[in-house]
């Protein structure tokens, strides 16, 4: 897949999956634009010295004004990949309105605002690609027991993806999402030390799926929410 001279946004690019995605785009020739919220995380990002990685921040992705301003500064945009989000366990009795709204803002509102700004930018060019991140509980809601706010926020991302895939297809903008199960990351291993880690999807493998969906080689796939479960 060739991203030579193509400009790509990756939100959440400084996380474990984000690093794998940014590395994949770099190998394929892309120019990366990575917004961040916390300066300390950006300073630890191992690719911050790359000439083709442009860090921007702080950017609050749940703020319409800040997201609009960030996308307005970009060159001609080809792809926007939205990995930013957050996870929280919590049964219904322990999840108050503030906790619910926090999950919705981190996972759904941020995705919606980035999709909006990306679509506006891409409509002025030759189309493009948008890739969102949903989650397994969005496709299998019963697996969201004990984390209903998270599951609902990711289900909203899935619905948004399918609706936008239909809305933007005539503009040459293909919108898709991935739906991971538990990713094989150091943080997840530490949180679940007795789990069968070998069954979890690896971040490099999930990144490869994202790169294809974001590429010009993807000519027909849209409105898909692709399960990336590995063997879990």
Tell me whether residue 194 is in a domain.
yes
Predicted confidence (pLDDT) at residue 199 exceeds the cutoff of 90: yes
The pLDDT of residue 167 is 98
Let me know the angle formed at the C-alpha of 186 by 185 and 192, rounded to the nearest 5 degrees: 90
Q: What is the pLDDT of residues 108-162, one digit of tens each?
A: 999 999 999 999 999 988 899 999 999 999 999 999 999 999 999 999 999 999 9
Q: How many domains does the chain have?
A: 1
Mean pLDDT of the chain: 96
225 DSSP β-pair partners = 177
Tell me whether residue 96 is in a domain.
yes
The pLDDT of residue 85 is 96
Tell me whether residue 2 is in a domain.
no
The pLDDT of residue 123 is 93
- Across the range 39-46, mean pLDDT stands at 94
Tell me whether residue 1 is in a domain.
no
Tell me whether residue 141 is in a domain.
yes
Tell me whether residue 148 is in a domain.
yes
The pLDDT of residue 125 is 82
CATH number at 177 reads: 3.40.50.720
The pLDDT of residue 126 is 85
The pLDDT of residue 124 is 87
- Across the range 51-57, mean pLDDT stands at 97
Q: What is the pLDDT of residues 32-42, one digit of tens each?
A: 999 999 999 99
Q: Say what the pTM is.
A: 0.96
Tell me whether residue 13 is in a domain.
yes
Q: What is the pLDDT of residues 55-112, one digit of tens each?
A: 999 999 999 999 999 999 999 999 999 999 999 999 999 999 999 999 999 999 999 9
Tell me whether residue 90 is in a domain.
yes
Let me know the angle formed at the C-alpha of 151 by 150 and 155, rounded to the nearest 5 degrees: 120
- Domain residues for the domain of 56 are 7-228
- 17 within 8 A of 183, measured Cβ to Cβ: yes
The per-residue DSSP string of 62-112 comes to T-HHHHHHHHHTSSSEEEEEE-------B-GGG--HHHHHHHIIIIIIHHH
| Structure tokens, 65 | 């004004």
């Amino acid at each position: 897949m060739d991203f030579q001279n193509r400009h790509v946004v990756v939100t959440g690019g400084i996380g474990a999956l984000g690093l794998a995605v940014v590395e994949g785009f770099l190998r394929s020739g892309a120019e990366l634009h990575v917004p961040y919220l916390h300066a300390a995380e950006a300073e630890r990002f191992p690719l911050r010295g790359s000439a083709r990685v442009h860090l921007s921040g702080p950017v609050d992705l749940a703020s319409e004004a800040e997201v609009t301003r960030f996308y307005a500064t970009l060159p001609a945009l080809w792809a926007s990949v939205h990995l930013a989000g957050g996870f929280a366990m919590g049964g219904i009795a322990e999840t108050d309105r503030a906790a619910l709204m926090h999950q919705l803002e981190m996972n759904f509102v941020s995705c919606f605002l980035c999709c909006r700004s990306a679509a506006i930018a891409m409509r002025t060019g030759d189309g493009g690609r948008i890739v969102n991140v949903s989650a397994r509980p969005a496709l299998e809601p019963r697996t969201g027991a004990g984390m209903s706010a998270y599951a609902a926020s990711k289900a909203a991302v899935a619905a948004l993806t399918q609706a936008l895939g239909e809305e933007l297809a005539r503009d040459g903008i293909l919108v898709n999402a991935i739906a991971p199960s538990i990713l094989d990351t150091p943080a997840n291993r530490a949180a679940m030390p007795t789990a069968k880690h070998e069954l979890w999807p690896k971040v490099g493998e999930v990144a490869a799926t994202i790169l294809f969906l974001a590429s010009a080689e993807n000519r027909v796939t849209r409105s898909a929410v692709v399960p990336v479960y590995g063997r879990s």
